[in-house]
Amino acid sequence: MPVMARPISLALLALAGFGCDQPAEVPTSPTAGAEPSAGAMLAERKAESVKPVPAANLPADVLQRDSQPAKGGGVGKPVASEGEGDVKLEKVNFDEFLSRIAADKAAKYTMVDAWATWCGPCKENFPHVVEMHKKYGDKGLAVVSLSFDDPAVAKQVSDARQFLAEKKAVFTNFLLDEEQGVGFEKLDINSIPAVFLYG
Amino acid letter for position 102: A
Residue ranges in the chain whose pLDDT is less than 70: 1-18, 22-85
Supply the pLDDT for residue 187.
95
CATH code, residues 9-15+36-46+76-198? 3.40.30.10
Q: Which is nearest to 125 in space by CA: 58, 195, 191?
A: 195
Backbone angles phi, psi at 147, to 5 degrees: -80, 135
- Please give the Cα distance from 134 to 126 (Å, whole number): 13
pLDDT per residue as tens digits for the range 60-112: 433 333 333 333 344 554 433 344 458 999 999 999 999 999 998 889 999 99
- Please give the Cα distance from 127 to 8 (Å, whole number): 23
pTM score of the predicted model: 0.66
How far is the CA of 120 from the CAs of 20, 23, 53, 174, in angstroms? 8, 15, 29, 19
Supply the pLDDT for residue 89.
98
- What are the structural domain ranges in the chain? 9-15+36-46+76-198
Q: How many CB atoms lie within 10 A of CB 47?
A: 16
